[in-house]
Copies of this chain bind each other. A is one copy, B any other.
Amino acid sequence: MPVKNGSQYVERINSSLPDVRIAGERLTGAISEHQAFKGVMATQAAMYDMQHDERWQASLCYSSPLSSEPVGLSFLQPKTKRDLAARRKMMQVWAEAHHGFLGRAPDYMNTAVMAFAAAARLLEEDNPQFAENLQHYYEYCRENDITLSHVFIQPKAARFPPSLARLIEEPAAARVTDKNKDGIVVCGAFLMDTQGVTSDEIFVYPAPFFSESSQDSPYAFAFAVPSRHPGVRFVCRESFVGGDSAYNYPLSSRYDEMDTLVIFDHALIPWNRVFICGNESMLSRLFDGSHFHTHAGMQIMCKNIAKTEFVLGTLEMLIETSGLQGYGQIVEKVTEVIVALETLKALQLAAEKGAALDRWGSMLPDRKPLLAANVYFPQIYPRLVEIVQLIGASSLIMIPDEKDFDTDLDDSLNLYLKGIGLNGKANVQLSRLAWDLSVSAFGGRQTVYERFFFGNVHTVSSRLYNGYEHGRELLMKRVQHFLS
């Protein structure tokens, strides 16, 4: 089966309903018609449709090496700079389709599974079957255009430091409780399975956190299963979709990706879907060796650029419709956004231009600009949102509803709430956009999500600092030479 289209995406999700709870109720019926999911599914359906649209197909697909049919370009292992550029172009096309608001657009996990599979040989050391499983799984996803989610992080209760863990009576860390001829049995919970419910399958890979190395640790495993797998349960957070109206909720009605807590309750994972089992050190070795952060970083870069562009366009509209372009303090603020945009675009270019082949034959982008961007974006995005608040000011609070324009107050609202070049209704629509970006629960969740996208500031800083060892050494030598 080649790349799927939107209705195939929707149909597959609808026909395979997992165990999902939302506000105490178990989900039934077509997910794509549930208010919490329909917007984001429609957005993704439109993205999958682009794969079949002649305007985009060449940018989004390539020929499968197995079937020669068109498959998603985000599955392509890049072997040349031309491949990298094609991948980037593909990711830009999709990012501009969702303006960067999807943290888990399909190309994110497609890229991840490609990266892991390219490094699958690492797993042979433990068990050649594991390596084969991972390679097969990658091909399965590519050939069937599987929509994937993933989980890395466990709830805090599972991660208390040993000194505090004793305060907790019952162990909460996810673990293999049994192995049998059919597979491994897993118990535990994972946080933040974004789009778990709107994806076909889930990729499970606990972040390693036990210091002691072990060859037979119950805490060391990795696997993938369908979202509807027995023993897998999803608990949703509150939906941040404000309502159906795209006028009132321009962002949340389209882009609210549901986050879920996933609980594995004695879930039996078949052996052919197990990639790691028992070897603590392999968790980090595959993670690092696959260059997950580097490959995923390129996709995220496209997302973050599209998002920054969207913020800048929104600000420019706010400024022009309010006649603010002559104020120095406004120009200084919007210029911060321009600097951020130019910075991100330049870092993306640098990563691509500095690419080199790795041991798996991948043309690996230069990770240094990417790791720098991973430190930078979580700091600048909240500032972008703050600038929207500072420039939007009171028009971010007192905003009527679309329906208010269908009443006898229509004329008054159009008179009093107009902007320069916009009647009241269009101006209020712009305010609602700025509000959904910077004030609504959807906007708030986006800010928190970006703050911690690849870990907290300490994690991303250390990743860059350690990844910069060579550069630091070189420059220290330059100073030593200067002093000598």
Q: Which residues of A contact B (CB under 8 A)?
A: 21-25, 96, 99, 153, 155-158, 160-161, 164, 167-168, 170, 172, 188-189, 191-192, 233, 235-238, 242, 248, 250, 259-261, 263, 265, 309-310, 312-314, 316-317, 320, 322-323, 328-329, 331-332, 334-335, 338-339, 341-343, 345-347, 349-350, 353, 368-369, 372, 375-376, 382, 386, 389-390, 392-407, 409, 412-413, 415-421, 426, 429-430, 433, 438-441, 443-445, 447-449, 451-452, 456-458, 461-462, 464-465, 468, 471-480, 482-483
Contact = CB atoms under 8 A, between A and B. Distances in A.
10 contacts: A156-B419, A235-B400, A310-B479, A313-B474, A329-B458, A331-B458, A338-B468, A390-B451, A397-B448, A439-B448
A331 B375 CA distance: 12
A95 B441 CA distance: 26
Nearest to A404: B24
B413 A235 contact: yes
A153 B439 CA distance: 21
Given A157-B419, A332-B457, A350-B350, 14 more contacts: A23-B404, A24-B404, A24-B405, A167-B420, A238-B399, A250-B483, A310-B482, A312-B475, A314-B479, A335-B461, A338-B464, A343-B347, A389-B451, A426-B483
A475 B349 contact: no
A168 B418 contact: yes
Given A399-B238, A445-B439, A465-B331, A476 B353 contact: no
A156 B395 contact: yes
Contacts of A189: 412, 415-416
Number of copies: 4
Q: Is the interface of A mostly helix, strand, loop or mixed?
A: helix
Contact of A342 (B164, B188, B369, B482): B369
Contact of A400 (B237, B353, B465): B237
Contact of A449 (B153, B397, B420, B444): B397
Candidate in A263, A386, A400, A456 with the most chain B CB atoms within 10 angstroms? A400
A464 to B, nearest CB: 5
Nearest to A238: B401
A347 B342 contact: yes
Contact of A398 (B160, B260, B341): B260
Given A443-B444, A465-B334, A483-B433, A415 B170 contact: yes
Contacts of A440: 441, 444
B376 A416 contact: no
B478 A404 contact: no
A342 B350 contact: yes
B342 A263 contact: no
Contact of A372 (B260, B338, B401, B473): B338
A321 B202 CA distance: 30
